[in-house]
Amino acid sequence: GLSRKDCTARLETLKANLDATTSPADRRRLLVIVGVDSDDSVYCSEDGLTMLRAVLGGDRRHHIQVVVEVMEGLRGRICRIWNALARVAAALGAEFLLLFGDDVLMDSPNWRERILSEFQAISEETGLPYGRACVAFNDRAYRGFPTFPVLHRSHLDLFGGRAVPTNFINQGGDPFVFELYARFGAARFARGVWLTNTVGGAADDTRYQKQHIRWNTFLLSEAVASLRRVEPAAAAAEQLMIDVGVPTYRCDLEVLRRIVACTSFRSRYCRIFYRHRDCGERET
């Protein structure tokens, strides 16, 4: 629904943001795969595709490899678009996969290096192979929720070359993959790595109708079982997960302080997460 001018401006902002938050060496390693709806009035034309590649690719000094995929019949089906683009990325040799929109702005310099260091730390701490993990950005628009998880290409093997099962339409994929790896102590928010999701996020202003599914029942159980089967080290890393919901309407603040104080508890056998809308998620 945006004009060509608005679309171009958004792409220019995205490219400038990538340039500002990555090093020249990082940019030479970035592969940006853009999904375009086949009926898009701005992008799906020879002139529009040329503009898209020119803006995101940039000059030689700031070069980023750009590939455009025209998507047929997938308007608003974000999880299925994610699956399609992930397959293309893996086929082109990408090692790590991240899905985000043209409205996302990285807030942290050197985010690529920080994300990779989190994957390395998870491997060392859990004994799982490097990449068997999920590392999420901290989203200023939706704190404490893994809206932008980074996955390794080996993750696609779990779901027949897909990022998430085909049950997903446009909601639930992000928390699903995060909770999957959390069962093995291999999911975390990257420390000090932030971004801003300017359209969507916590507000109900996305550009498509949201379609939720119940992913935290048999779908999650099957995924956990699949990871356990394909990964020999998973059995040793698997953890018992217990969710405790604390209602806070007219709450007793002293009781809440004692609950939150549990996060100071440290043990090799126990990890505690808490989520709070204002201060995000912290892991101990």
24-42 per-position pLDDT tens digit:
888 888 999 999 999 888 8
Q: In angstroms, what CA-CA distances link 144 with 138, 182, 268, 279? A: 7, 14, 23, 8
pLDDT of residue 282: 43
Write down the pTM of the prediction: 0.83
Name the band, by pLDDT with cuts 50, 70 and 90, for residue 238. Answer: confident
pLDDT at 60: 58
Residue percentage of the chain with pLDDT more than 70: 84
pLDDT tier, 278 (very low <50, low <70, confident <90, very high otherwise): very low
Question: Which of 40-49, 75-84, 203-212 is predicted with the least confidence, judged by mean pLDDT?
Answer: 203-212
The reported pLDDT for the residue numbered 283 is 42
* Closest by Cα among 123, 273, 95, 113 to 193: 113
Query: What's the average model confidence in pLDDT over 14-29?
Result: 91
Q: How many CA atoms lie within 13 A of 281 on its CB side?
A: 24
Tens digit of pLDDT for each residue in 129-171? 999 999 999 998 887 889 899 999 999 999 999 999 999 988 8
Question: pLDDT-derived band of residue 177, with 50, 70 and 90 as boundaries?
Answer: very high
Q: Tell which phi-psi region holds residue 250, choosing left (phi > 0), alpha (psi between -120 and 50) or beta.
A: left
- At residue 267, the pLDDT reads 55
pLDDT, tens digit, 9 for 90 and up, residues 76-85? 888 999 999 9
Report which of residues 263 and 92 the model is more confident about: 92
Residue 13: what pLDDT?
Answer: 93
Model confidence at 241, pLDDT cuts 50, 70, 90, reads confident
Strands 134-139 and 187-197 turn out to be parallel
- Under 8 Å between Cβ of 179 and 220: yes
State residue 59's pLDDT score: 58
* 62-73 pLDDT, tens digit each: 578 899 999 998
Q: What is the pLDDT of residue 135?
A: 97
Mean pLDDT of the chain: 85
Residue 280 has pLDDT above 50, yes or no: no
Q: Are 213 and 169 in contact (CB under 8 A)?
A: yes
